[in-house]
A and B are shown apart, each in its own frame.
Chain A
Amino acid sequence: MKHALTLRVGPAVFRVGSPWASPLDALARLYSGYPDASDEPADFTVRLRPLKPWRRHVRPSIFITGDHSLADAAPMALAHGLLAAEMGMNLQMALGWRRHLLLHAATVEKDGRALILSGESGSGKSTLAALLGERGWRLMGDEFALVDLAGGGLWPFPRLVSLKNAAIEAVRGVAGEGRLGPLMAATAKGDIRHLIPRPEHVAAMDRPAPPTLILFPRFGAEDSAARPVDPAECFVRLTQASTNYVALGEAGFRALTGLVSSVPAVAIDYASGAEGIAMVEALWDEAR
């Protein structure tokens, strides 16, 4: 691979390689505030390779692969190379990570305690986490919640926050332009820009926190509503939100039953970012 970068996010080290310079340059710029991991053995290798040998130059098209890969992954335009690198790293975590139970969720921390926001793509969890991160909460991650298999604590995984469509403006309004990455227009998920987490949140990426509340946000509802979620439903929802629950076997079952039996959960519907923030903070004050 002509161009390569090794970087660490929380407990995981990634080596990303590509025959093209541009995805790696963008990655290096946005991750410049992260710890230097160039001498570390990497947990995962990500390869951004041309779909076919000649597609390196003619209508360049990226195929995301690496230690772990999906045969039917959709190819991506070179202009979206930064997104491809991020997706490649997420793919390795989703399929290969075994040291924590992985939940598809955003996590934030306040006063040493953590909040889990679990939802599908489009639920608004990344946006809520990014906005909370700009108003006194510590952003721990917007993609994966890492649940300790022994102690049940949450470990940070503060990679770049992926902001889509209207969320870009909403976050830019409070975080400013300086920490935003380039605009990637018309990707499969719409327009995307990445937000670099605040430096103090990156610096705290090795500090875990115990989970205190689980929320299942849903953006775009007509009326706002909050409904308690009992442990059984929470368990089922989180098995569906986990990428490695099955692979972990008994350890995953223990971690997840431990989590849902000790931490309250609420499903919230909200119509706007401001309303979502207000609901999250009200529920948080109740839960403490």
Chain B
Amino acid sequence: MSAVLLVSLLRDPSGAERLSGAEWTALIAAARAERLIGALAHRLAGMVVPPRVALILADARFDAETERRGALWEADRASAALAGLDVPVVLLKGTAYVAAGLSAGVGRSIGDLDILVPRGSLDAVEAAILAAGWEWVKPDPYDDAYYRRWMHELPPLIHRERDRMIDVHHSILPLTARRRPDVAAMLADAVTLEDGLAVLCPEDMLCHAAAHMLADGALEGGLRNLWDMHCLLGDYGEQPDWWAALEARGQRHGLGDVVARAARLTHHLYGTAVPERWRGLTLADRLFIARLLSRDGWGQERRWLLGQAFYIRSHLLRMPPTMLARHLWTKWRKGYRPVG
């Protein structure tokens, strides 16, 4: 699997000197499919690579810079739209990493703007966002009602002039999930940056990244999420008491096991320095790793059965079985089919 090659070069770029033309092609296809081409391009900056590869990597760095600028502009527009509300607006994921100047933001691809606001302010935030030019993209009443009743975010909105999506979160996991992170604490401890934008505190950033990857979804883009965590742990891991604080914070959010698994996986795949107790792998961890490394040299996902298993798991994480059955039945009648 070329995902193995991708991971090994992110971990140690010196291996790039020995690659053949065909290996480069496979690596680049896998890195693009995992949305890690920008991170890889920065990791390989300054290395001696074939001339064409140097051009491809320069293009990837250029695109990442464009995305960084676009993401910060969207954050600026959203904070302007919400300025009159006196509501804390906390940036999440990629936009937060670039706004805070963290290494996880270097070369990162950023699609949507994700923000976290207090649930009690949701109606006011929604009205302000709509007034500032964002529009609904899910016209289906069932989807809309489902989001509002059960999800941790508003239905997605797209800005009518800039064509950019915003996800307005009031929690970091669906309300139907078993785990209930302490969102009030996340908002209370958020860190305000120089330009007035806010991000989660470092421990919460990691808890959110781990929850997003391992307690929600089917591990799509998992290698990228894990790279984010590797970078965050690199930025903060040397601070005194970091690991104890991280562990305590994870437990407070009901995410202790999720944070521990994230640490084990980053250590195993990217060589992240983590405490001794997080260095072994469980049997289940090995399934996660097999799933994470399922991208081939054509950028395609292999291990179909494993993918299906994680897809089913993602739904079981998200809601209780009876509710899942009702949801799937409704979606099926509407003509939705999961994967082909």
Contacts and interface: CB of A to CB of B under 8 A. Distances in A.
Interface in A112-160: none
A40 B20 CA distance: 9
Interface residues of B, number: 22
A99 B55 contact: yes
A47 interface: yes
Nearest to A68: B32
A41 B28 contact: yes
B52 A41 contact: yes
A13 B66 contact: no
Contacts of A40: 21, 52
A45 B25 contact: yes
A249 B29 contact: no
B340 A52 contact: yes
Interface in B28-71: 28-29, 32-33, 50, 52-53, 55-56, 59, 62-63, 66
B57 to A, nearest CB: 10
Contact of A15 (B20, B25, B32, B300): B25
Given A99-B59, A247-B63, A42 B25 contact: yes
B53 A1 contact: no
Interface string A11-25: 001010100000000
Contacts of A45: 25, 28-29, 32, 298-299
Contact of A41 (B53, B63, B298, B340): B53
A200 interface: no
A42 B300 CA distance: 16
Contacts of A6: 25
A66 B32 CA distance: 10
A98 B21 contact: no
A5 interface: no
B290 to A, nearest CB: 20
A263 interface: no
Contacts of A247: 63, 66
B340 A51 contact: yes
A191 interface: no
B24 interface: yes
Nearest to A97: B59
A67 interface: yes
Interface in A39-60: 39-43, 45, 47, 49, 51-53
A54 to B, nearest CB: 10
B52 A43 contact: yes
A67 B55 contact: no
Nearest to B51: A41
Contact of B298 (A47, A52, A96, A99): A47
B32 A13 contact: no
B340 A43 contact: no
B56 to A, nearest CB: 6
A13 B340 CA distance: 30
Contacts of B63: 98, 247
Contact of B299 (A47, A51, A98, A99): A47
8 contacts: A41-B21, A41-B50, A45-B299, A67-B28, A96-B59, A99-B55, A99-B59, A247-B66
Interface of B: 20-22, 24-25, 28-29, 32-33, 50, 52-53, 55-56, 59, 62-63, 66, 298-300, 340
Interface of A: 1, 6, 13, 15, 17, 39-43, 45, 47, 49, 51-53, 66-67, 96, 98-99, 247, 249
Which 9 A-B residue pairings sit nearest by Cβ, starting from the closest? A41-B24, A98-B59, A45-B29, A42-B25, A39-B21, A67-B32, A41-B21, A52-B340, A41-B53
